[in-house]
């Protein structure tokens, strides 16, 4: 079965969907550095009512679906997993982008790994300090679909500051050293090919691609679902970067309603939990979720999370 059924789309945990389809494979388990980290959100599912299917094809890499929902606007789904909805996408895009960008005093060169829907690019371009944005997105179909069906997110693809590279971000990083002020990884969960973006060798490449005062931000999963994975990421990154922090915020359509952000800096004196620049009125007028107070609050963690991450 798939997620579309009788006018509803249901987002199953990939490992649960394998079981529903009669498979005993463990290929849909989350993994990092070869270690299994459990299912994505086992034992629960999330449904949206479908008004109309707008696009549904398989690219070279994944199943790509866009549907118009009755309450969340247009919805982008990759391999059965909701990536963004028009109703709440800004909450994730703004936090993943602006936490590192405002932590940096002068971000001129920015690299985005993934982010084919254009949401992170849109947010990066709001910073007048940014002179060049390089984006590495492996799936051209996602970009084209976003341009057609998610215009509010994909509005930055024609910006002259953008250098778009359609290919593997992991491979791209190997040829770029000491180049970027900020790198943002907007990835899916570590299932299948995306597993490489949650491993130690990937973060070592990120470190090498950042300049001496560089900051990175990565999609960091949810503490309610993936605390073991998050602790694993924090542990090995503390061997790579002198500054490693984890923040979180609410995202209504992410399983469990929360999303995390892994923020690392090469400068040991850079406190990423405090903005280096306050939000100007001109930028704040364009934002719907992020502000300087939310930046600081994102890093105030519940005690059970602090205990797990400081072991």
Cite the active site residues.
186
- Write out the H or E segment, with its range, that includes residue 225: none
Per-residue b or e along 104-132, where b marks 16 or more CB atoms closer than 10 Å to that residue's CB: beebebbbbbbbbbbbbbbbbbbbeebee
Per-residue burial over 290-311, b = 16 or more CB atoms within 10 Å of its CB, e = otherwise: bbeebbeebbebeeebeebbee
Cα–Cα distance for residue pair 169/114, rounded to 1 Å: 7
Q: What is the DSSP string of 73-100?
A: -EEEEETTEEEEETTTHHHHHHHHHHHH
Is 219 in contact with 259 (CB distance < 8 Å)? yes
Q: Which two tokens stand for residue 164?
A: 């778009």
CA–CA dist 96, 220 (Å, integer): 9
Q: Give the C-alpha distances (Å, rounded to integers) separating 294 from 239, 250, 274, 310.
A: 28, 11, 10, 23
């Amino acid at each position: 079965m798939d997620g579309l059924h009788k006018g509803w789309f249901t987002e199953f945990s990939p490992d649960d969907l394998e079981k529903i389809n009669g498979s005993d494979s463990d290929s849909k388990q989350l993994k990092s550095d070869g270690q299994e980290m459990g299912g994505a959100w086992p034992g629960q599912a999330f449904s949206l009512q479908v008004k109309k299917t707008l696009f549904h094809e398989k690219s070279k890499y994944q199943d790509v679906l866009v549907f118009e929902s009755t309450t969340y606007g247009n919805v982008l789904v990759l391999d059965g997993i909701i990536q963004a909805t028009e109703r709440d996408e800004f909450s994730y895009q703004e936090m993943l982008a602006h936490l590192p960008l405002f932590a940096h005093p002068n971000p001129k060169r920015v690299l985005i790994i993934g982010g084919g829907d254009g949401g992170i690019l849109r947010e990066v371009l709001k910073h007048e300090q940014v002179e060049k944005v390089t984006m590495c997105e492996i799936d051209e179909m996602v970009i084209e679909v976003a341009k057609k069906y998610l215009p509010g997110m994909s509005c930055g693809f024609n910006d002259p500051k953008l250098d778009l590279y359609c290919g593997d971000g992991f491979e791209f990083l190997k040829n770029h050293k000491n180049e970027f002020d900020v790198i943002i990884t907007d990835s899916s969960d570590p299932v299948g090919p995306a597993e490489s973006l949650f491993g130690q060798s990937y973060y070592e490449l990120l470190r090498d691609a950042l300049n001496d005062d560089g900051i990175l931000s990565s999609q960091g999963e949810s503490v309610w679902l993936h605390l073991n994975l998050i602790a694993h990421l924090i542990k090995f990154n503390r061997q790579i970067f002198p500054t490693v922090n984890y923040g979180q915020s609410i995202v209504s359509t992410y399983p469990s309603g929360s999303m995390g952000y892994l923020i690392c800096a090469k400068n040991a004196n850079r406190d990423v939990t405090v903005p280096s620049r306050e939000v100007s009125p001109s930028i704040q007028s364009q934002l719907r979720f992020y502000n300087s107070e939310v930046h600081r609050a994102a890093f105030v963690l519940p005690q059970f999370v602090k205990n797990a991450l400081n072991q």
